Amino acid sequence: MIDEDFLTGKILLIDKPLDWTSFDAVNKIRYAIKKHLTVKKIKVGHAGTLDPKATGLLIICTGKKTKDIEQLMGLEKEYTGTIKLGANTPSYDLETEEKEQFSTEHVTEKMLQEVAQSFIGVQQQIPPLFSAKKIDGVRAYEFARKGEDIELKSNTIEIKEFEITSVNGNFIDFRIVCSKGTYIRSIAHDFGKKLNSGGYLTALRRTKIGNFSVENAQSIEQFISSL
C-alpha cells in the first residue's frame, strides 16, 4: 500500500461491525492512517451512514477522494435483514425495548409476499424518530430519547426490489434494493403496520452500494493490520 495514496485519495471498503457508529469507524481509520503516515491531519469521511445496530458495507474516502462522497451517497443500496412481527419498538429496531404487542395468527405467507410487493416504487417515507435527521439544528433522536413528541417531514424514496427470502415463525428475512435516504427501520415498522401485526428490525446488513460489494470489504482490524 503506497502511503501517498491516502493523501491523493483512496476509496476504502469497510465491513462495519455491530454497535459501532459510522463515525466510530471513520475516527478509528483516520487515527490509524495519521499514526502510520505520522501526519497531524488528513481528510477522512464516509459515504452514507449505517445505524449502530447494522453491519456491512461502509465506503470511507480519504484525501482528495472525499470530494466524491456526495456522488457515492447517491448510489442505490442493497440490504439484507430480519423483521420481527408481533411487536413494535420506539426506535423501530433493537436499540429500544418492545413497547406494544400484537397477534400474528392472521398472517399468512401470501400476505407477506403481497405486502412486500406493495412497497415497490417511488413513495414518501417518514424517517424514524430515533434518527439523525435534524430539527432546528438538533438531531431527532435527542428529542426522542427525552420522550418529546416531534414531527418529521417525509422524504421521497424508491424501493426497487423487496424479496422475502425466508420465514421462521415471526422472524421474516428479506433482501431489499432501494434509493439513497431510505430508512430500512421505517420499512420494517410500516411492513408490520400493513400486516396489522406490528414489526421491527432485528438485524440489518448493507451488502452493496452501487457496484461496490461487502464481499470486497475489509474489517477495521484487517485494514489497520495492512498498513
Cell of 152: 418529521
For the annotated catalytic residues, the residue numbers are 51
User: Distances in Å between the alpha carbon of 86 and those of 45, 101, 103?
Assistant: 38, 6, 6
User: Distances in Å between the alpha carbon of 200 and those of 47, 134, 139, 215, 224?
Assistant: 25, 23, 21, 26, 35
State the DSSP string of 29-50: HHHHHHHHHT-S---EEESS--
Cβ burial 143-161 (10 Å sphere, 16+ → b, else e): bbeeeeeeeeeebebbbee
CB 17 within 8 A of CB 220: yes
Residues 6 or more apart in contact with residue 9 via CB below 8 angstroms: 61, 62, 63, 64, 65, 66, 67, 68
d(CA 197, CA 88): 9
Per-residue DSSP letter, 218: B
Please give the angle made by the CA atoms of 155, 100 and 17, to the nearest 5 degrees: 60
- Which of 193, 224, 90, 87 lies closest to 145, judged by CA? 90
